[in-house]
Structure 1
Amino acid sequence: MGRNDYLRQILMQDEFLKELVQSQVNVYCFLSNGIKL
């Protein structure tokens, strides 16, 4: 029971990190394009 909760917590963290990285990449691309323009 506890192990499933632990795995679920890791998966949720992983999803959060993916979204965080994706937003960072979007901001970086936006800034890069802004500088080029």
Structure 2
Amino acid sequence: AELLNTLIEKILVHEAVKSEDGSREQEVEIFYRFIGKIE
């Protein structure tokens, strides 16, 4: 876990969206140091 803390710059968690069928979807973006966001 310490290695991950070193590699990750920030984590963005977006608001959850609930669809009509009751399922939930939530976007999470991870930004790495020296690399940026990987799609």
* Bigger share in helix: 1
Query: RCO (CA 8 Å, sep 6+): is it higher in 1 or 2?
Result: 2
Pick the TM interval, shorter chain: under 0.3
Larger radius of gyration: 1
TM-score normalised by length of structure 2: 0.23
* Bigger share in strand: 2
TM-score normalised by length of structure 1: 0.23
